[in-house]
A and B are shown apart, each in its own frame.
Chain A
């Protein structure tokens, strides 16, 4: 006789697990991480390793403090802390001292993720918050002392000092060609953010594996570029340099699309990513620093509000247009009923 299982919905479960999705994200991040190591050398690799190790160790120790058994912890380990550590390292510069990725990773896992209840319960993205923490805590290291990459620009020049974004925002324009900006050659920056090609490859992999939807990162990037153009008095030459500089691609593809901290309805996601683009462009123009992480952090905090107003449509329920049509029809029916009453 077959077993009858009485349970609450959902009754049909997908084969995808958190671990599988996180493995996809790690694979998608690898090209950019490898390019970061190629550009910035051993120090970048060390930063990534410290960050990942610290993240995993923090999660393990925190779970031990909750009196879970070591074997259970290893069995239920879902790779999210590896993703957090990897992402965090990718938005740190390679020249930071060894304790910056360490402390930031411990902060992002222990305070941002585990204190709120672990995977899926955090209200803000741990990696983003870790970067913001590093930015506030070690400001002098995060905004200066940029190291030139090992591979020079296509015309052979190497720029040191400020990143391309800071010089654009400072009104000095960019000093490498747009193709260099796309490839990340000859420009300073954080470990994972310079090579847009590698990030794009990772993004396409995620879209192909259906981990993220392609519309949302594209909306974020395009809206950011367009608002930047508007703020520069409709100088359309600003579009490409604005989207190709800084950590916009990294943030748009890997961080803003985090399931836990983005709205749970499609319409809500449109609102979220458009607002992100506007906020990033406006704050960049106002503060003259890279604000992608701050913008995502801010919008993460607004996600509960978006979720409260824009609910996901249950399967089979009327969609937006159908609902409006039904409303109009019910009003018509009410009117007709009234007129009948009068007669």
Chain B
């Protein structure tokens, strides 16, 4: 894998195809589990782990799995890793396991994982797929942690469980607040992204198409002269067309 390929995969996963903020995938865990920043990190890392593993395995088996039954096969592979994560979390971090509740087994049908399996891992090489899993998962984790942090600060007056102040707006811990913050996050992210993208595009456009400004050309022509010059050029063009 070349460095350039790695860069595009990383850029896609983290920003351009950010599963939460650009593709609006995996909405259910985003809304339900972003009440606190720590929950967001936990859920994000669990999804990242499962995403990497399932991407690698599906990429390895991409030529073996018949096309007609690929979705059930993907789901079984994902379910295997979800079960492993559940068992590990139940044993070692029971508090996180409890706070995730039903959303942990629901990762099986999480559309981010299924989406990456369908659109990337089943068409690309193993190393590429692993990278894609890692960066898509990290993009998901970042978005979830960000939304969780905002909701925790405003709704509970705390960050990562550490109390900041007494001021609380309980609205933000409710599901209505989740929709509100999620929507605003999507709007702000897309506004910044499109602005950055525009700047990037205009730069490449300049380099490719725009001719370098002619240094020798006189800067301050008389308006009359320039008009005359323009008129003459248009006359030339017209004359050429006539010919």
Chain A residues with a Cβ under 8 A of chain B:
99, 103, 111, 133, 136-140
Contact = CB atoms under 8 A, between A and B. Distances in A.
A146 to B, nearest CB: 19
Interface residues of B, number: 8
Contacts of A139: 170
B154 to A, nearest CB: 9
Interface string B136-170: 00000000000000000000000000000001011
Interface of B: 167, 169-172, 174, 176, 180
B90 to A, nearest CB: 34
> Most B CB atoms within 10 A — which of A137, A138, A140?
A137
B241 to A, nearest CB: 40
Given A137-B170, A138-B170, A139-B170, 4 more contacts: A99-B167, A136-B176, A137-B172, A138-B169
B135 to A, nearest CB: 33
A99 B180 CA distance: 20
Contacts of B176: 136
B116 to A, nearest CB: 33
16 contacts: A99-B167, A103-B169, A111-B180, A133-B171, A136-B170, A136-B171, A136-B174, A136-B176, A137-B169, A137-B170, A137-B171, A137-B172, A138-B169, A138-B170, A139-B170, A140-B170
A73 to B, nearest CB: 23
Contacts of B174: 136
Contacts of B171: 133, 136-137
A137 B180 CA distance: 13
A133 B172 CA distance: 10
Nearest to A103: B169
A136 B172 CA distance: 9
* Top-6 shortest CB links A-B: A137-B171, A137-B169, A136-B171, A137-B170, A139-B170, A136-B174
Contacts of A138: 169-170
A99 B174 CA distance: 20
Nearest to A100: B169
Contacts of A111: 180
A102 B167 CA distance: 14
A103 B170 CA distance: 13
Contacts of B167: 99
A99 B176 CA distance: 20
Nearest to B154: A137
A111 B187 CA distance: 13
A140 B170 CA distance: 9
A133 B154 CA distance: 14
Nearest to B180: A111
Contacts of A137: 169-172
A171 B170 CA distance: 29
A137 B174 CA distance: 9
Nearest to A140: B170
B58 to A, nearest CB: 42
